[in-house]
Amino acid sequence: MKQVFICGLVAILLLVACSNGEETSPAGPLPTLTPEDIIDKASPKLDELESFHFKLSQKGGGTPIAMGLEMTGTWGDIAPPDKLAMKIEATWMGQFMEAELVTVGTTTYMTNPLSGKWELLSADFDAVTLFQPNTGIRAVMESVTDLNLLDPETAGGTRCFHLEGLLDSEALNGFAVGHAAEGLSVETDIWIGMNDFLLRKVTFDGRICEDENDGIIRTLELSKFNEPVKIELPE
């Protein structure tokens, strides 16, 4: 009787050890995602977000925007489809300047970097297009060609798929605020979360506008997905 009890106890312990240890591999090989599969899964995710934070930085030169400014960096919050609040770092006649910009619907205000007062911008300046489905980062992701899947990397504290490819400069018109040239090739790297397929980072290496410096690199980082934000036009 004692031997039966001991054998039964050993069997139970073995079952517990197996259930608490590493998971057994499923039967058959795990599905392999191609670079195109990853983009197909990731690009619609951007349209499902209620809000997110972004940071766009540039090295090697600026991008002409409004009021004679050349933007070198910006960061802020988006509440799709048409609300944007951001701060801008730029140069004006060789001097460092800062400004703020708010878009709600089709109306955009920006602070004058000299006076600090809010001014209404023309409808030609539409920064929010950078994050809209047909013109923004989703369209950019879906336009990358010659895609390659590299080794996984961490971006924004998240384990990510790392892809590389090429873009035509015209696809980046939103980043160039309507000033993109035609036919320039831009090397592009993309980092997408391996668990949630949310875009964490993308870099663009190369000129987008004709009058930009060679070697300019733009980096866009996304974070704080679906966190509450309040975006209103200035009074």
Q: What is the pLDDT of residues 163-198, one digit of tens each?
A: 999 999 888 877 776 678 888 899 999 999 999 999
Give the chain's domains with CATH numbers.
Answer: 31-223 (2.50.20.20)
Radius of gyration of the chain (CA): 24
Residues 102, 125: Cα–Cα separation, whole Å: 12
SS3 assignment, position 126: coil
Q: What is the 3-state secondary structure (H, E, C) of 26-45?
A: CCCCCCCCCHHHHHHHHHHH
Q: Which of 122, 149, 138, 158 is nearest to 47 (CA)?
A: 138
Residues 160, 191: Cα–Cα separation, whole Å: 6
pTM for the full predicted model: 0.81
Least confident of 80-84, 119-123, 142-146, 194-198: 119-123
Average pLDDT, integer, range 123-127 = 66
Which amino acid, one-letter code, is at 153? E
